[in-house]
């Protein structure tokens, strides 16, 4: 595990130097370098510690609120299934996180409006915003 943290720290140092600008909007799904996190926090895989995330809310030109995705089916009030590119994905609602675009790698596409609306409604209920 320590090796993963050391590798992640090296990747994070390189990400901090990134100058590339990304144009993104709510409802899009991106590969991002999530990192090596603690405990049950979602983390990324591979050399760049990446995983797909759904952009819930653009905060500025270089930051947003995201929800990580997983290809593993999950049950419970903290998850919601979506269909993206003809595959079922689970949105990890309880792993909501703010991210800077320096973590962004590439755009995968956009979620259809009906699924995006369902995700936002379920997130409101989970966070007791309704």
Yes or no: say if 55 and 80 are a contact pair by the CB < 8 Å rule.
no
Instruction: Provide the domain count of the chain.
Output: 1
pLDDT digits 0-9 by tens, 51-80:
999 999 999 999 999 999 999 888 888 999
- State how far the Cα of 8 lies from the Cα of 100, in Å rounded to an integer: 16
Q: CATH no. for residue 14?
A: 2.30.30.110
pLDDT digits (tens, 9 = 90+) for 1-49: 567 877 877 878 888 898 888 999 999 999 999 878 766 667 778 888 8
Question: CB–CB of 30/48 below 8 Å?
Answer: no
Regarding pTM above 0.85, the answer is yes
Strand partners, 32: 51, 104
| CA distance linking residue 47 with residue 78, whole number of Å | 28
Task: Residue 31: give the domain boundaries.
Answer: 2-126
């Amino acid at each position: 595990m320590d090796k993963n943290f050391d590798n992640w720290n090296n990747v994070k140092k390189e990400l901090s130097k990134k100058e590339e600008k990304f144009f993104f909007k709510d409802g899009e799904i991106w590969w991002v370098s999530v990192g090596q996190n603690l405990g049950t926090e979602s983390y990324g895989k591979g050399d760049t510690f990446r995983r797909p995330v759904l952009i819930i809310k653009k905060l500025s030109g270089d930051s947003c609120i995201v929800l990580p995705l997983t290809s593993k089916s999950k049950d419970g009030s903290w998850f919601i299934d979506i269909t993206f590119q003809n595959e079922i994905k689970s949105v990890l609602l309880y792993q909501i996180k703010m991210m800077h675009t320096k973590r962004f790698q590439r755009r995968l596409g956009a979620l259809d409006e009906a699924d995006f609306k369902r995700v936002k409604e379920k997130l409101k209920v989970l966070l007791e915003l309704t």
